[in-house]
Structure 1
Amino acid sequence: MTRPEDAAPGHDVPYDVVISGASLAGCAAAILLARRGARVALLERRGDPEAYKVLCTHSLTANAYPVLDELGLVPALEAAGAVRNEARWWTRWGWIEPRAAEQGPPLPYGYNVRRSTLDPLIRARAAGTAGVDLLLGHQVRGLVQEGGRTVGVRASTPRGEREVRARLVVGADGKDSPVATLAGVRRQAHENGRFGYLAHFRDLRLDSGVAQAWFLEPDMAYAFPNDDGVTVMAVLPDKSRLPAFREDLEGSFLDFVRALPEAPPIDTATRVSKFIGTVDYPLLSRRPTAPGVALIGDAALTCDPLWGVGCGWALESARWLSDAVALAVTGRGDLDKALAAYDRGHRRRLRGHQFLAADYAKARPFNPVERLVFSAAARDPSMARHMHRYASRLIGPREFLSPPALARAAAVNLRHRAAPAPATTH
């Protein structure tokens, strides 16, 4: 690990990549690029190696598992008590409860793990990777540009300003990305019609012992069991409820949870964190590249937190970038072509997801297609598994809403309507 005092102003080491932000996306990219032969400067504005992100769903969807495996983090996560994230979802048609098919493979899973556990773990892994210099206390203040492209950053450090040059600058610095702003990358914002608050509770008993989410149309809530016996309980109401929450946050939060169908027993649990939240969290999309610059994680795309996909996409985008540019940043390929390939791949994979999420963020009831699929998933095990694959981001919107999937959903619902009503006794 490189400490801030080890990096005196004006002391330059030749780097292939400079990454701004040593959270999930930045650390993953640093590790993967260094393993492919790149020399990486990993800059983190905070000086504490144990620092972590507070506002988060604390969930790694199943699409992230291959990246976690490649990083070698799965055994460490298991040892740290990360919870495999099985889930069930309440709808007005009943619970959607995905289960593996008889004689079929287990359902894919990721992990629920608090960022206070995860962030220091992956940052230590990055710091211990040959080829990575972790520079704590380094905050990017400007970009170094030559010939119309970015060739480095200017960073403030505890010992003054420092210039760090590289073939590629990576913004892994969150939804308000200074790197993106400094590079002039425009963003597209979609208004979020919900606000959200979460808190951590100990001894919050959940039915079946797995994560639960409530689709209340338009309100939303979820409870995710995490490491060390702590459950993250979150509420995401329509903004019409905001005045009440502002007047009495704790009372409104607890009343919201108590009113949930088959609500978890919040009054017998112990709250072990502050209430954490945001009243305005727009969905943001940016083009993920500019000359000499790449964006990963929330810097490239910030989705609605109700879906809990940000951590998974942070890790995936780090791998997509590493696969695309590793040869070029080490001088063995055309960097502009490599960045163009990453740009195309990122947008192809995530644009449809963001489109659907932005539409649902309007805080509206389910539309006819959503009613068709969600109701069928509550009635049919195969459709429930189909929902699980989409919620885990293992399939995209085209497959999720493909003609065969919609036809099966329609058939399930027709059979349900044709079935005789259960006899009642008096």
Structure 2
Amino acid sequence: MLFANLGARVALLEKHSGMDAYKVLCTHTLQPSCMPVVKTLGLLPPLERAGARRHVTHLWTRWGWIEPRPAPGREPLPHGLNVRRRTLDPLLRRLAAETPGVELRLGSGVNGLLEEDGRFTGVRVTANGTETRLTARLVVGADGRNSTVGSLSGLPVRLSANNRLGFLAQYRGLPDGDASRVWFLDPDTAFAFPNDDGVTVVACSPSKEHHASAFRADPEGSFERFVRALPDAPPIDQGERISKVIGTRDLPNVYRKPYGPGLALVGDAALATDPLWGVGCGWAFQSAQWLVDAVGPAVAGGGDVPAGLAAYGGKHRAALDSHHRLMEDYAAVRPFNVFERLLLSAAARDAGAARHYYAFASRLIDVKEFASPGSLLRAARVNAFHRLRNAPSNS
């Protein structure tokens, strides 16, 4: 859609044959960081008409709940959206198909890349048992964590272990209010996100070391016991579970170089991190925008595509590397480090620190700004004041 809006002709190859196909295993949330792209695409009104829920996430920690609130007299906090993929994916696919310049080809699977003089120049596509070749000034792989385009490209890839399980289920009729909630049990995690159509997506990410055997033997029972044991747990027994308990026991972190000669990767095809952070959909929108900003005019108007691709790679690295490395590190299932404990405990005790943490969790600021010397000093002051205020009296 973004490329076509600049005047480019786009062949959109979709391996599914139906307009209503959607991804099942997902956190079903869009972070506040991607809302500008959602608005640019004109997606916000139709998503909200379809029932997408605005969210400002609350986080449970052992120091208490972090409940971000706007500063007195200030604008509301930036919000994200919770929307199930069965709602999001068909809506986005239809809007793309209706965009002038986009030709949607359903049931078209890529099985090879075309190359000439050291540059990717198109793809081999199989549809209805027939193979055809499509040439293009740019090939974009937006085909997910197990990207076929990424694998065929041979671009460098870094894999790292994720030592957590991931399981979720959908419930209707929970008296959940409006808040999206995340539990940082350190190191286990869980979340409950109210979504469209009165459905709440409930998920957990327990450590493999302590929970793998139980979830292997009894996934549904283990999931519901885990959720019921959460502090201030979502009242799943007051609602109706409308889905199976689904999940994965192995979901490594994947980071591919996001571009090559004549080719770019966006979303999970470039970077797929631990899903407990709920960043995959948002980073897909954002990386698409960065790519089009960097190379769109050249693709549409015959300019310098290689320079634009290098600029995209630089933007992608600058924006996401520090976030992803921290997520990789935490996916090893370690306890919070001293800096994380300092910042999280302050956020549970102070409104300003809570807003600072929310900006980071929403991916609106990077790791360097989140853990800057000034931020650490302010957090230390908050915690020192908390200790003084709660110290036993000598009288």
Same fold (TM over 0.5): yes
Q: Which residue of 2 aligns with 1:8?
A: none
Q: Which residue of 2 aligns with 1:165?
A: 135
Q: What are the equivalent positions in structure 2 for 1:3-402 lying under 5 Å apart? A: 31-206=1-176, 208-240=177-209, 241-402=211-372
CA RMSD of aligned residues (A): 1.1
Residue 209 of structure 1 aligns to a residue in which SS?
A: coil
Residue 276 of structure 2 aligns to a residue in which SS?
A: helix
Give the TM-score normalised by structure 2: 0.98
**Residue type of the alignment partner of 1:356:** L
CA contact (8 A) 2:53 2:81 kept: yes
CA contact (8 A) 2:111 2:126 kept: yes
Deviates more, 1:108-117 or 1:321-330: 321-330
Q: Which residue of 2 aligns with 1:11?
A: none
CA deviations on 1:325-370 (whole Å, 9 max, x unpaired) are 1121124311111100001111111000001101111111111011
**Residue type of the alignment partner of 1:152:** G
Q: Using the TM superposition, give the Cα deviation of residue 214 of structure 1 relative to its aligned residue in structure 2, in angstroms.
A: 0.6
**Residue type of the alignment partner of 2:200:** T
Residue 171 of structure 2 aligns to a residue in which SS?
A: strand
CA deviations on 1:375-397 (whole Å, 9 max, x unpaired) are 00000000100111111111111
Residue 221 of structure 2 aligns to a residue in which SS?
A: helix
How many residues in Structure 1 have an aligned counterpart in Structure 2?
392
Correspondence 1:412 to 2:387 = no
Q: Using the TM superposition, give the Cα deviation of residue 421 of structure 1 relative to its aligned residue in structure 2, in angstroms.
A: 4.5
**Residue type of the alignment partner of 1:139:** G
Report the Cα distance in structure 1 between the residues aligned to 2:86 and 2:256, rounded to whole angstroms: 28
Identity of aligned residues (%): 56
Report the Cα distance in structure 2 between the residues aligned to 1:366 and 1:381, rounded to whole angstroms: 21
* Structure 1 segments (4+ residues) deviating >4 Å: none
Q: Using the TM superposition, give the Cα deviation of residue 217 of structure 1 relative to its aligned residue in structure 2, in angstroms.
A: 0.9
**Residue type of the alignment partner of 1:213:** V
In the alignment, structure 1 segments of 5+ residues that lack a partner are 1-30
Report the Cα distance in structure 2 between the residues aligned to 1:388 and 1:286, rounded to whole angstroms: 28
CA deviations on 1:119-159 (whole Å, 9 max, x unpaired) are 01111110000000000000000011111111000011015
CA deviations on 1:54-84 (whole Å, 9 max, x unpaired) are 1100000001110010000111011111100
**Residue type of the alignment partner of 2:112:** G
Report the Cα distance in structure 2 between the residues aligned to 1:279 and 1:151, rounded to whole angstroms: 37
Residue 46 of structure 1 aligns to a residue in which SS?
A: coil
**Residue type of the alignment partner of 1:85:** H
Report the Cα distance in structure 2 between the residues aligned to 1:140 and 1:315, rounded to whole angstroms: 22
CA contact (8 A) 2:3 2:300 kept: no
Report the Cα distance in structure 2 between the residues aligned to 1:43 and 1:261, rounded to whole angstroms: 45
Report the Cα distance in structure 2 between the residues aligned to 1:94 and 1:314, rounded to whole angstroms: 32
Deviates more, 1:229-238 or 1:158-167: 158-167
Residue 95 of structure 1 aligns to a residue in which SS?
A: strand
